[in-house]
Chain A
Amino acid sequence: MSKAKIKLRGISQYHEVDVNPADDTVELNGKRYSVGRLPLDSLISGTIYGVLLNYKGAFAALGDAMFEAPYKGEPKAPVMYIKPANTVIGSGMPIPLPADVPELEIGASLGVVMGRTATRVGEAEALEYIAGYTVVNDVSIPHDSVYRPAVSQKCRDGFCPAGPWIIERDAVADPDSLDVRVFINGELRQQNTTANLIRNVPRLIADITEFMTLSSGDVLLVGVPEGAPLVKAGDRVRIEINGVGSLENTVVHEHEWVMEVSL
């Protein structure tokens, strides 16, 4: 059992709960619930910063193109982008598939939730600035070029499911050796580990806060592994990160993107 925060739909405050990432359960008011049976809401209050090309395999997948135009060399600093507030949805909410797009790319990422203001933080102290961790799906419309910010491919409404909870920092012994698995309709489609990050969590925090401040509640996505699975309408996506939790969402056509309400 680990301590975590959840947010229930319709209730403005967080609930501090005991969770078990191994069997997707939450203990709330003395009772045990399967996470899929709780009306979970979005947990993210700050700004979400993503990092591109931070898995060794994703970096290698760019291949020789990295040295050709327009890139003309390896990146020298973390390549970052923002997932704005309109993208964030909670665990269990559907992911909208835009009308003009056949498939979406799943971006399985560990989300590092900051616990206090971090400016010019050293690697040795970096983990102390973390409040906890969550599972994030950095959804994109597939695109090849990383020369320009992919705003129209990455910033659509509902393109950043996160959850199901924020597990407290101390529940995760080492954020740099976590297995990440993606299941589509129950089938394992992607597997990697945060041990393959080019910049591990402390190094990322150090390199980013060298030039910008991360505030409490901000979330850092450590990166998306190579070989992102593609999904279409009707597909059920489950991202598991060992010891952190499992995030499940289903893809629906944009025009069907409403909450299920039974009266």
Chain B
Amino acid sequence: MKRARVAYLGAIHDALEAEGGVKLPDGRIVGENEVVWLPPVQPGTVFALGLNYADHAKELEFKAPTEPLVFLKGPNTFIGHRAQTRRPADAAYMHYECELTVVIGRQARKVKREDAYHYVMGYTVANDYAIRDYLENYYRPNLRVKNRDTCTPIGPWLVDAEDVQDPMNLSLRTYVNGKLTQEGSTQDMIYNIPYLIEYLSNFMTLNPGDMILTGTPEGLVDTKIGDEVVTEIEGIGRLVNTIAGDDV
């Protein structure tokens, strides 16, 4: 099943995917362009991975990490499918990051790798924008790079875990204005999903609604005002986002 949260005619609904559209709980089916898409999950604690694909780590001239590079994101940064992300006026390099996102479904404490998938509710797509101009060398990446308002589109769908046969073998693609700019596979993650759930739950409790953004492969390019950025993951979804200006 594919689930979404949408606003339609002034109300917020938990919706399901239906033939060519979005099915509201009362049975109405509306077009996907008629609704306002919200993040498919209300974010709890949100983890994001830095440098979790070997090729991307190389592209950024870093050595691959010896332990997961994890940072947290606040609720202010999330927006839904087809929404706008604001590019700061002084930014010279703002890039997308197409990321498979794991949504936790059950409370997880000290979970073993082999049991980790039992704790997953489902998957969605995130686009974890970074404003590289602000990447200083303290608690890198800092919130100014990664936690700005509107800089993490997520969705459109939460795909139930049982509908994803192998989350560690999915292709990821990003298109900017229709042109393919990033292509990779979740196979190339340095720390895979079971490892990350074991790692995090070993020192803290994960709760339903918590999310893990698992990192991005190589192929990052600067995005400008007006660009349409599509981050797509095989079987999970196609997340559309547009870059807007930051004028008040």
Contact = CB atoms under 8 A, between A and B. Distances in A.
Interface of A: 47, 49, 52-53, 70-73, 75-82, 84-87, 98, 119-120, 146-152, 155-157, 211-215
Contacts of A52: 138-139
Interface string B128-161: 0000001011111011100111000000000000
Interface stretch (B22-30, B111-119, B162-170, B203-211): B203-211
A86 B205 contact: yes
B205 to A, nearest CB: 5
Given A86-B45, A98-B203, A149-B70, A81 B137 contact: no
A79 B45 contact: no
Contact of A86 (B144, B149, B204): B204
A80 B146 CA distance: 11
B74 A75 contact: no
Contacts of A53: 138
A4 to B, nearest CB: 26
Residue picked from B71, B148, B203, most chain A C-beta under 10 Å: B203
A150 B71 CA distance: 8
A76 B77 CA distance: 21
Contact of B143 (A81, A87, A156, A215): A81
Given A155-B204, A156-B203, A148 B140 contact: yes
A180 to B, nearest CB: 22
B75 interface: yes
Nearest to A47: B74
Contacts of B73: 82
B44 interface: yes
Interface residues of B, number: 30
Nearest to A149: B71
Contacts of B77: 212
Contacts of A80: 139, 142-144, 147
B69 A49 contact: no
Given A85-B207, A155-B204, A157-B205, A75 B45 contact: no
Given A79-B139, A98-B203, A146-B138, A212 B147 contact: yes
A147 B44 contact: no
Nearest to A98: B203
Q: Which 5 A-B pairs have the closest CB atoms?
A: A82-B72, A84-B45, A80-B143, A79-B138, A149-B71
29 contacts: A49-B143, A53-B138, A72-B137, A77-B134, A77-B136, A79-B138, A79-B139, A80-B143, A81-B143, A82-B72, A84-B45, A84-B72, A85-B44, A86-B204, A119-B149, A147-B137, A149-B139, A149-B140, A151-B71, A152-B70, A156-B203, A156-B204, A211-B147, A211-B148, A212-B144, A212-B147, A212-B149, A213-B149, A215-B76
A184 B144 CA distance: 35
